[in-house]
Structure 1
Amino acid sequence: MPDAGGDHGVASANRRQLAGHPTHHPGRPRRRGGRSRTHRPGRAMVGEAISDIQDGLTTAGRLEPHQRHFRGVLAMAQLDFVAQNWDRADWKLTRDQMLDELSASWVQLLT
């Protein structure tokens, strides 16, 4: 889904990040029995993603300099919350609908 400028970057990056269904939080015990969960990226990886978002916003000339890091934090917090809770909540939408909603939210947040 392109943003107003025709850029697929935010939506594509968002879909790639969710593709693995990361659901295990390293600070929480794994579920006993049942299916195994994919290991979630660590804090360093999330920090690197936030920095990459900030750098992209800087390169694109989007937002004010004081907003860029925090918008990256908010974007990753949205993604992390959905990733942690996707299989535990009744979101009343399909996975594809969730990806569309999350992508639209990121486009609005980061443009």
Structure 2
Amino acid sequence: MDGYVSHMWLCVHFLVAEASDSSETDMTGKLDSDTKRRRVQDIGSSIVRSASVLARTLRNSEEKKEKRHRDLMELEERRLHIQETHNEVNQQGIASLIAAVNNLSGAIKSLISDQQDSK
């Protein structure tokens, strides 16, 4: 963006210099009407070029801003998906732990029952 700003500054500086030169020469009456017309056309062309550069810069800036927003949204979606997956894994782990405790409890009850039957 700094390159565009520098370019715009140079264009503005050029336009101001051209305008002041034009005013000074208009006062002294040294330039004929064809030269004045060319000078005005040159200034107009410089303004058009500067406006084009500015428009391109603004468009590029908006496109980059939109891309950053899309990237941020994609990143947030991935983060949420990872978080959901993490939660599912934790729930499955807890469910497996509960099943293992229930199996252990059943095995202990069976062992106690077998010991009581053998007495």
Instruction: Give the TM-score taking structure 2 as reference length.
Output: 0.27
- Higher relative contact order at CA 8 Å, sep ≥6: structure 1 or structure 2? 1
Larger radius of gyration: 2
TM-score by length of 1: 0.29
Compare the two structures and name the one with the higher helix fraction: 2
